[in-house]
Amino acid sequence: MSTRFLFIADTHWGSGEKGYTLQPKYDHHLHNILDALDGGVDEHGTVDFILHGGDMVHTLDLAGLEAVSSLFNRRVPVWLCLGNHDLTRPNGLKLWMEHCSRFFRDDSPNYAIETPDCVIHVIPNQYGPEPYCWEEEQTAHFLPDQVAELETRLSSGDDRCQIILTHSPIHAIDVGQTGREEPFHKPPADFTKTVTNIAQRYNISAVLGAHSHANMHKELNGTHYITVSSFVETPFEFKLFEVDSDTIRMTTHNLNDRVDFKAEYNWNQTFAQGRARDRTFERPL
């Protein structure tokens, strides 16, 4: 037996023509893409749950919460790590807990998903001076109490595979992937240092992120740092993770041939899909 879950992110429901993209975006077809995902699950085998890495909505309001509550009512549980676009108003966290609490555990945005094989620690990063609220600043960081809660869980000595899920990437996408002159989506150095120190101290197997809309994979001191491309941008990709007592493995798949609408693709931005090493890995535990 093993734990099998899907990882998607950046669905940006309600964005329309607005917002940052790397590939053509089809958030208005999200219901079709999610239905195609059900078929993809049937093809690749059953899964235990779906992780959403954040930016489920593009702008937070009650109509958007009602929509995603219905859209993400899937055959398996969907667990969310809040992203910056999910927190575009000061009372945003309260609205999520009142109207979409089933995407979280223990009525908190910081929680753990436990299976016989692994523990996934969900810890949404912050962006500016006001906790759980994004306006313009994008200085990724954690609150002291978030770090304390995470370290309390990690210090229990649990020998299962430990995985952290946050929204912002921990490492930039390197020029070898993008072909650009500078690293892409480079996070604050203090944020990178905080997470990599925790990962090394507690033998974290993988740190999952999103936000950049690109597949990326970097291994550092035995920890795999991973981001996933936007689920609503062509070719509608998701990652499948399989964890058992001996191994963690990741593969990347797309739904381009399963959606029932025509989708364009920007061949000048293929780096969003990543290289072979950004799309798959397997390592012993």
What pLDDT shows up at residue 157?
86
CA geometry: angle 114, 158, 282, nearest 5 deg: 70
For residues 233 and 190, give the distance between their C-alpha atoms in angstroms, rounded to a whole number: 30
- Cβ atoms of 50 and 8 closer than 8 Å: yes
- Cβ atoms of 239 and 227 closer than 8 Å: no
Per-residue pLDDT of the chain (285 residues; tens, 9 = 90+): 799 999 999 999 999 888 999 999 999 999 999 999 998 777 878 899 999 999 999 999 999 999 999 999 999 999 999 999 999 999 999 999 999 999 999 999 999 999 999 999 999 999 999 999 999 899 999 999 999 999 999 999 899 999 999 999 999 999 999 999 999 999 999 999 999 999 999 999 999 999 999 999 999 999 999 999 999 999 999 999 999 999 999 999 999 999 999 999 999 999 999 999 999 999 999
- What is the greatest pairwise CA distance in the chain? 50
Q: Parse the chain into domains and list their residue ranges.
A: 3-284
Helix H or strand E encompassing 212:
none
Q: What is the pTM of this model?
A: 0.97
Nearest to 255 by CA among 76, 41, 77: 41
Nearest to 122 by CA among 166, 71, 84, 89: 166
At position 189, the amino acid (one-letter code) is: A
Q: How many CA atoms lie within 13 A of 39 on its CB side?
A: 13
Query: Which residues are paired to 248 by β-bridges?
Result: 243, 283
Which string of b and e fits 134-164 if b means at least 16 CB within 10 Å?
A: beeeeebbbeeebeebbeebbeeeeebbbbb
Cβ atoms within 10 A of the Cβ of 66, count? Answer: 12
- Of 3.90.105.10, 3.40.1450.10, 3.30.70.330, 3.60.21.10, the CATH number of 3-284 is 3.60.21.10
